[in-house]
Chain A
């Protein structure tokens, strides 16, 4: 095998392994990660019930599942290099022959594998507690779910390069981004039933919004007839695929530019600013 490809794959495997091991080696992580999304989903489910819309409970729990991944993207992808910098790990990354893009891909795969147990637990608990009515088109659900995660984690990679130039403000930016993006994406409710068309169009630049729309349509139909509007689902799938590719490309370019700039200015490994 080409030595460069070999190093790239080995780096992906190593970073995936470290992240996965850190979660599965400590089963308490599952209990810890499931907590806040569960209570948020539970509270919003009870809100749906109290306003006479029990059929909406599924949206609340689907939202909890996807928020687990969105939180992982923000806190364990976007700001990861920032923490690595503070702990001195980032210096090791840039002085080793390991490609940064491979480290990011490994981090993404490990993040998905690590978040999956808490997301699955949340989905099972929601289903057992409330049995929300669903009308899933499983092949399309699987495809949209995979594409949503791919574009979401690609966005995490792009953000991580951006966060390389940040100092302490990374945490505050994360806190400020988490809820508004969830709201605009219609994580806990179908945006198409609540937002005006202009706001829905603006939200289409967020991978989470497109993914949530597709998942809600393929899992819960969203139509009085009970049949999902497949043309909108295919539009979302196409958008997600395009976003994934564009964001991956943007992340790779941004990383190279910022890495070069950081090396020249001598600020790439500065720990606290």
Chain B
């Protein structure tokens, strides 16, 4: 029970950190602008390719826009909250919050999980809003309506997919957090690299099959790739069978990644306690 209370308290800390400096509407608006713009960048490149290339026919173009809009917004969603544990540790060392957390027994994992969940909740709102707004902008800019399947069932199943992806993103967060405990500088660099790698390997902007082997195989088994595929299956194709197939793969991959992340974090935290580096400041 104390774990649940710690997680809930940490969620409140996370929201306070993200939105405490302003009113929630302004805070959410500022956080929504960036994913809209990055999604529009990818859509615009597709549009230029459609107008000047020879691979996309006019009939295929709306569907291709749909593939990119879902991939780009969900990539932004994943990268927005999977590096939160690293941020919480690095920033926490500076502001002396993290030493206050770790002095109590087994308190870091629920704290980081809570911060991650807080960011997940706000990122869910901003990425869903950015998906909707980018679809409207595309209509005005390219004159094409994206054939998204928006029904109560598809929205519900999309929500379930978002929830299932928490395992994988949190697992990645704990893995990066294990590194952040020891980092004394450039603590933000590894998450940035991992985020960049995800852009290439998650199939967000182009099919992973276009990557050379073995890179395409790596991208193919990532839970994030399966999550994006499941979301596309339900929001674009409206097919339930493939949705559950990809979601199942994402769930299994996410559980494995979470277990690995927690193990790595536990080992790193114990070692850091022994070495006395848990409160070493990032410089």
Residues of chain A touching chain B, judged by Cβ–Cβ distance below 8 Å, are: 28, 31-32, 35-36, 38-40, 42-44, 46-53, 56, 167-169, 172-173, 175-176, 178-180, 182-184, 187-190, 193-196
Chain B residues whose CB sits within 8 angstroms of the CB of A168 once the complex forms: 21
Select from chain A the residue with minimum beta-carbon distance to B42.
A47
Of A38, A167, A194, which contacts B44 at CB under 8 A?
A194
**A51-B53, A176-B31, A188-B45 given; 8 more Cβ-contact pairs under 8 Å:** A48-B45, A50-B49, A52-B55, A56-B48, A56-B49, A168-B21, A189-B41, A193-B52
Select from chain A the residue with minimum beta-carbon distance to B204.
A43
Select from chain A the residue with minimum beta-carbon distance to B27.
A172
Chain A to chain B contacts (Cβ below 8 Å), 10 pairs: A36-B193, A36-B196, A47-B205, A47-B206, A49-B210, A172-B27, A175-B34, A189-B41, A193-B51, A194-B44
Q: How far is the CA of A31 from the CA of B64 in the complex (A)?
A: 34
Chain B residues whose CB sits within 8 angstroms of the CB of A46 once the complex forms: 200, 205-206, 210-211
Q: How far is the CA of A169 from the CA of B26 in the complex (A)?
A: 11
Query: Would you call B205 and A52 a contact (CB within 8 A)?
Result: no
Q: How far is the CA of A117 from the CA of B200 in the complex (A)?
A: 24
Residues of chain B touching chain A, judged by Cβ–Cβ distance below 8 Å, are: 21-22, 27, 30-31, 33-38, 40-42, 44-56, 64, 68, 141, 186, 189, 192-193, 195-197, 199-200, 204-207, 210-211
Chain B residues whose CB sits within 8 angstroms of the CB of A50 once the complex forms: 49, 55, 206-207, 210
Chain A residues whose CB sits within 8 angstroms of the CB of B31 once the complex forms: 172, 175-176
A46-B205, A52-B49, A53-B48 known; A35-B210 Cβ under 8 A: no
Select from chain B the residue with minimum beta-carbon distance to A60.
B45
Chain B residues whose CB sits within 8 angstroms of the CB of A38 once the complex forms: 196
Chain B residues whose CB sits within 8 angstroms of the CB of A172 once the complex forms: 21-22, 27, 30-31
Q: How far is the CA of A176 from the CA of B126 in the complex (A)?
A: 12
Closest CB in chain A relative to B229 CB, distance in Å: 16
Interface centre among B37, B47, B205 (most CB of A within 10 A): B37
Q: How far is the CA of A50 from the CA of B196 in the complex (A)?
A: 19
Select from chain A the residue with minimum beta-carbon distance to B51.
A193
Query: Would you call B207 and A43 a contact (CB within 8 A)?
Result: no
Query: Would you call A173 and B30 a contact (CB within 8 A)?
Result: yes
Query: Would you call A51 and B37 a contact (CB within 8 A)?
Result: no
Chain B residues whose CB sits within 8 angstroms of the CB of A182 once the complex forms: 37, 41
Q: How far is the CA of A193 from the CA of B192 in the complex (A)?
A: 31
Closest CB in chain A relative to B232 CB, distance in Å: 15
Chain A residues whose CB sits within 8 angstroms of the CB of B53 once the complex forms: 51-53
Closest CB in chain B relative to A223 CB, distance in Å: 12
Chain A residues whose CB sits within 8 angstroms of the CB of B199 once the complex forms: 39-40, 43
Chain B residues whose CB sits within 8 angstroms of the CB of A173 once the complex forms: 30
Query: Would you call A194 and B205 a contact (CB within 8 A)?
Result: no
Q: How far is the CA of A48 from the CA of B49 in the complex (A)?
A: 7
Interface centre among A35, A50, A180, A190 (most CB of B within 10 A): A50
Query: Would you call A28 and B54 a contact (CB within 8 A)?
Result: no
Query: Would you call A176 and B210 a contact (CB within 8 A)?
Result: no
A51-B50, A51-B55 known; A176-B193 Cβ under 8 A: no
Query: Would you call A52 and B56 a contact (CB within 8 A)?
Result: yes
A28-B186, A35-B193, A167-B21 known; A189-B44 Cβ under 8 A: yes
Query: Would you call A39 and B56 a contact (CB within 8 A)?
Result: no
Chain A residues whose CB sits within 8 angstroms of the CB of B141 once the complex forms: 194-196
Select from chain B the residue with minimum beta-carbon distance to A187.
B41
Q: How far is the CA of A43 from the CA of B76 in the complex (A)?
A: 14
Q: How far is the CA of A28 from the CA of B189 in the complex (A)?
A: 10
Query: Would you call B196 and A194 a contact (CB within 8 A)?
Result: no
Q: How far is the CA of A76 from the CA of B190 in the complex (A)?
A: 20
Chain B residues whose CB sits within 8 angstroms of the CB of A195 once the complex forms: 141
Q: How far is the CA of A56 from the CA of B51 in the complex (A)?
A: 12
Chain A residues whose CB sits within 8 angstroms of the CB of B49 once the complex forms: 47-48, 50-53, 56
Chain B residues whose CB sits within 8 angstroms of the CB of A44 once the complex forms: 41-42, 45, 205
Select from chain B the residue with minimum beta-carbon distance to A180.
B37
Query: Would you call A183 and B37 a contact (CB within 8 A)?
Result: yes
Chain B residues whose CB sits within 8 angstroms of the CB of A176 once the complex forms: 30-31, 33-34
Select from chain B the residue with minimum beta-carbon distance to A169.
B21
Q: How far is the CA of A47 from the CA of B199 in the complex (A)?
A: 11
Q: How far is the CA of A167 from the CA of B22 in the complex (A)?
A: 11
Query: Would you call A190 and B48 a contact (CB within 8 A)?
Result: yes
Q: How far is the CA of A183 from the CA of B72 in the complex (A)?
A: 14
Chain A residues whose CB sits within 8 angstroms of the CB of B68 once the complex forms: 47
Select from chain A the residue with minimum beta-carbon distance to B193.
A35
Top 4 nearest A-B pairs (CB, nearest first) are A39-B196, A51-B49, A52-B55, A52-B53
Q: How far is the CA of A49 from the CA of B192 in the complex (A)?
A: 24
Of B30, B50, B205, which contacts A175 at CB under 8 A?
B30
Chain A residues whose CB sits within 8 angstroms of the CB of B55 once the complex forms: 50-52
Chain B residues whose CB sits within 8 angstroms of the CB of A189 once the complex forms: 41, 44-45, 48
Chain A residues whose CB sits within 8 angstroms of the CB of B40 once the complex forms: 183
Q: How far is the CA of A90 from the CA of B283 in the complex (A)?
A: 19
Q: How far is the CA of A50 from the CA of B56 in the complex (A)?
A: 10
Interface centre among B40, B46, B206, B210 (most CB of A within 10 A): B206
